[in-house]
Amino acid sequence: MPHMRAALTTSVLLVSMLLFSGCGASSQKAGPDASQTQAAIAQRVDFKKRCGDPIRFPISDECAQLAGNAGPQLRRQSDLTVAMWRACAMIPSSAETIRQEAIARGDAKTEVGQKMIGEMERTEQHSDSPCVAADLRDLDCVAGNIDACDTARNGDPACSAWLNDNDTQERIHCLERAEHDPECIATRQAESSAQPAAALDAGAANALSDTKAEADDCLRMQNACLHTFDECGNAKDALAAFLNPQKSAPQPKAQ
């Protein structure tokens, strides 16, 4: 989210400068022109109305066109932002991953499932998932209202764009397959009914050890559906390099 806030600020400044640059150049040549000033203001109002204030990502083709000469840069920023969501929203142990795993198991709307999801989201105040960010902006959702969370997600363009992304859908379906794998289901059932290790005889202790190994296999299967921390880091670095090219440029070596 720090990357996201910087991205929005940069976009607003970029487009604002563009929309008013024509007015300034004209006034230097022919003096103040009220009609041109009003046209520039109307253009900026129209841009905010159609593209958001702050700008909503991913941007539409119409929004890129309204940005004029800044359109290609805004499009690039939008693409890099979406790539960052894609690479970072579902990584091991993220709040979005916890939610999607609970949905795949069918317990996302149970009391236990909601408590687990809510606690994870509240610890991820600067989430890289646009859907978790939408949840956290809705006070009723934060308070545990399931319907409010659904409404917040469905009404947020960024969340909808991420959820409908082909990569996201493939990973969600992968989690569904992993959660419904017969061996993984049997392993969860065995874990839930297992006795404390101190109360087990040798045979039962060996069975518990086998269950632990099978649980590790299931975890690896689930993690294979997710993006890695390295993929997330690379996507964040690419966005940061675009927003701060001077900072990310290699420094000259000292003579």
What digits encode the pLDDT tens for the residues 181-212? 888 877 777 766 654 544 445 444 444 344 56
In the structure encoding, which two tokens stand for residue 182, read together?
Answer: 């017969």
Residues 128, 85: contact at Cβ < 8 Å? yes
Predicted local confidence at residue 205, as pLDDT: 43
Residue where the block lists tokens 């989690």? 175
Predicted local confidence at residue 53, as pLDDT: 87
Task: Output helix, strand, coil percentages for the chain, rounded to the nearest 5.
Answer: 75, 0, 25
Predicted local confidence at residue 186, as pLDDT: 78
Residue 157's CB is within 10 A of a number of other CB atoms, namely 14
Burial class (CB in 10 A: 0-12, 13-18, 19+), 55: buried
Predicted local confidence at residue 218, as pLDDT: 85
The whole model's pTM is what?
A: 0.75
Q: List Cβ neighbours of 15 (8 Å cut-off, separation of 6 or more).
A: 47, 51, 55, 67, 70, 74
**First-to-last C-alpha distance (Å) of the chain:** 39
Predicted local confidence at residue 119, as pLDDT: 94
Predicted local confidence at residue 220, as pLDDT: 85
Predicted local confidence at residue 36, as pLDDT: 74
Predicted local confidence at residue 153, as pLDDT: 97
Predicted local confidence at residue 221, as pLDDT: 83
Ranges of residues in the chain whose predicted pLDDT is under 50: 9, 12-13, 17, 20-30, 195, 197-200, 202-210
Residue where the block lists tokens 């839930």? 192
Residue 182's CB is within 10 A of a number of other CB atoms, namely 7
Residue where the block lists tokens 């003096």? 31
Predicted local confidence at residue 32, as pLDDT: 56
- Taking alpha carbons only, the member of 81, 131, 86, 126 closest to residue 232 is 86
Predicted local confidence at residue 3, as pLDDT: 54
- Taking alpha carbons only, the member of 169, 186, 6 closest to residue 103 is 169
- Taking alpha carbons only, the member of 47, 61, 62 closest to residue 12 is 47
The angle formed by the CA atoms of residues 4, 157 and 241, to the nearest 5 degrees, is 25
